């Protein structure tokens, strides 16, 4: 069965984005959805060599294959300087064109320290994925003041956001199943 790939949109060690990805993964697990996680922190260093535009290192192939073979993507992005992280754009640029995103369902979750919860980067990403002919899932989740969302024990304390993530997951799993039924990737 094809998987939904949950992408952690930064490679910053110890990122809150990865913590949110783990929360989302738990939700997908509870719903018995087939999923996996792509963490940009795990990208091989050699993909950042300028020669990678022309020749992709073999170590990048598992990452590209997982995107190309996915049933859909949940993209989780923090806000960095009013946009999404440079490493995420580089990852997008390294993936095969057009098959990585053409006709692929994509869903967005944003998080930031500020009050808008990464509204800006998610809308930037929607432009890019629109350009790439992805099926953009309209129900987005924004997580403001994300550093306050965890207690000292590291537990997530925002039940309202958890509910939104849960509703998004329910609807996105349905959305992906619809596309798999009528237009399998």
Ligand X SMILES: Cc1cc2nc3c(=O)[nH]c(=O)nc-3n(C[C@H](O)[C@H](O)[C@H](O)COP(=O)(O)O)c2cc1C
Residues 20-59 that bind ligand X (CB under 6 A): none
Residue 81 is a binding residue for ligand X (CB under 6 A) = yes
Choose between 17 and 71: whose C-beta lies nearer to ligand X.
17
13 binds ligand X, rule: CB under 6 A: no
**Could you say whether residue 100 binds ligand X (CB under 6 A)?**
no
Q: Give the one residue of 33, 40, 73, 111 binding ligand X; rule: CB under 6 A.
A: 111
Task: Out of 112, 149, 165, 173, point to the residue binding ligand X (CB under 6 A).
Answer: 112
* Token reading at 154: 């590291």
According to CB under 6 A, which one of 5, 7, 11, 16 is a site residue for ligand X?
16
| Residue 151 binds to ligand X (criterion: CB under 6 A) | no
The residues, ordered by sequence, that sit 6+ positions from 183 with a Cβ below 8 Å of its Cβ are 103
Please give the structure tokens belonging to residue 123.
């809308």
- Cβ 16 to ligand X shortest distance, Å: 3
78 is a site residue for ligand X (CB under 6 A): yes
Judged by CB under 6 A, which stretch of 10-18, 29-37, 45-53, 170-178 contacts ligand X?
10-18
- Tokens 């432009």 label which residue? 127
> What is the rounded end-to-end Cα distance, in angstroms, of the chain?
11
- Select from 35-43, 44-52, 78-86, 151-159 the region that touches ligand X (CB under 6 A): 78-86
User: Radius of gyration of the chain from Cα atoms?
Assistant: 16
Beta carbon nearer to ligand X, 147 or 183: 147
Nearest distance in Å: CB 151, ligand X? 15
């Amino acid at each position: 069965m094809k998987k939904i790939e949950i992408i952690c949109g930064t490679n910053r060690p110890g990122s809150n984005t990865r913590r949110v990805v783990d929360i989302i993964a738990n939700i997908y697990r509870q719903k018995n959805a087939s999923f996996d996680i792509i963490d940009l922190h795990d990208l091989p260093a050699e993909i950042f060599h300028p020669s990678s535009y022309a020749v992709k290192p073999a170590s990048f192939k598992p990452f590209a294959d997982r995107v190309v073979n996915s049933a859909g993507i949940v993209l989780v992005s923090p806000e960095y300087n009013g946009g999404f992280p440079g490493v995420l754009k580089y990852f997008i640029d390294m993936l095969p064109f057009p098959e990585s995103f053409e006709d692929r369902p994509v869903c967005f979750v944003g998080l930031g320290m500020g009050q808008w919860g990464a509204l800006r980067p998610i809308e930037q990403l929607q432009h890019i994925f629109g350009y790439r002919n992805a099926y953009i899932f309209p129900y987005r989740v924004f997580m403001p003041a994300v550093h306050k969302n965890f207690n000292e024990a590291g537990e997530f304390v925002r039940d309202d956001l958890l509910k939104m993530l849960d509703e998004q997951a329910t609807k996105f799993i349905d959305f992906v199943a619809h596309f798999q039924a009528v237009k399998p990737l």
